[in-house]
Amino acid sequence: MRLIVDGDACPVKELVLRAAHRLGLPLLLVSNKPMGFGREPGVTAVIVPEGPDEADRWIVAEATPRDLVVTADIPLAAALVANDVTVVGHRGEVFDQANIGDLMAGWALHRALRDEGQTVGGPKAYNQKDWAAFASAFDRALTKLQRRKG
């Protein structure tokens, strides 16, 4: 099992790093530029070429059903769920077959509205409640994957 983090704008890297160290799991931090994070023991900083969705393509190609991926990117989560990969969002969302269709539909609607020039607003500020929700969902996902492994 590996922990894979979509490094772009991910506020929970430290929590994932602590879990990786505690459990002796490899952690891959994927981004298209060095992030000043990823030089710690057990962490591999994967730098992909710059360009739209390059990190996403790398993660989809490399992640397996034995891995846990952290991302807030809905299309990336959809591609991973289709490959039976466990995916948790940084606000505690667990992306799965039951919810990914609705999430993709909402994402597509917001994108279409933005493309038409409409203001739809951005994500709310990340807060302690989001962090706690992530910590709980992440722990449950780790436990589930470890049981599946054993």
Question: Residue 95: helix, strand or coil by DSSP?
Answer: strand
Angle 124-129-4 from CA coordinates, rounded to 5°:
80
Containing domain of residue 14, as a range?
A: 3-149
What average pLDDT does range 73-101 have in this prediction?
94
**Beta strand extents in 1-150 (DSSP E only):** 3-6, 27-31, 43-47, 68-70, 86-88, 94-95
**Helix residue ranges, H only, 66-127:** 74-82, 100-115
Q: pLDDT tier at 150 (50, 70, 90 boundaries)?
A: low
- Of 24-33, 41-50, 117-126, 137-146, least confident by mean pLDDT is 117-126
pLDDT at 125: 85
For the stretch 31-50, pLDDT in tens is 888 777 666 778 888 999 88
Number of domains in the chain: 1
Q: What global pTM score does this model have? A: 0.88
Nearest to 27 by CA among 70, 61, 60: 70
Domain of 119: which CATH number?
A: 3.40.50
